[in-house]
Amino acid sequence: MANFVHWARDLNDTAGNAEFYPNVDKRALFRDGYIASQSGHSRGSTADLTLAQADGRELDMGTPFDFFSPKSWVADPSISAEAHANRMLLATAMRRRGFRGYDKEWWHFTLRGEPFPETYFDFPVK
């Protein structure tokens, strides 16, 4: 997480602009909720995931993972019906297993009743 925050704060590092935030000013990534200095990821309670076929091919979700744009919002009306159905399938499956989604990122889910809601861990995972 620390590397991601460092990258987001470095306004001169525009690598990934076309792929991850083509229509969002990098200066707005924190303000608009696309990136947080601290998040459930560093509490071990949040996961980013998608759906895939048995052969590993990812389903159409309307945007790539970590695409910072309103197109990544769960309820974005501009995506295809297939992508919308896939987002709803993922969200429903995660809700049934005790996770809540984040409305600005179709891939982001946090465990309800997380065990360490006020703790942010900072250690390497091996």
DSSP SS3 for 85:
helix
Q: Which helix (H) or strand (E) holds 87?
A: helix 81-96
The total number of residues written for the chain in this structure:
126
Q: Where are the domains of the chain?
A: 2-111
The conformational region for residue 98 under phi > 0 = left, psi -120 to 50 = alpha, else beta, is left
Above 90 in pLDDT, residue 123?
Answer: no
Tokens 């995972």 correspond to 125
Active site residues: 105
User: Which band of pLDDT confidence, cut at 50, 70 and 90, is reported for residue 125?
Assistant: low
Q: Specify the CATH class of 2-111 in words.
A: alpha beta
Give 41-52 as a 3 state SS string. HHHCCEEECCCE
Above 90 in pLDDT, residue 121?
Answer: no
58 vs 9: CA distance, rounded Å: 30
Q: Express each pLDDT in 29-83 by its tens digit.
A: 788 877 777 777 778 889 999 999 999 999 999 999 888 888 999 999 999 999 9
CA dihedral (16, 90, 50, 110) positive or negative: positive
| pTM of the predicted model as reported, rounded to 2 decimal places | 0.79
Q: Express each pLDDT in 88-101 by its tens digit.
A: 999 999 999 999 99
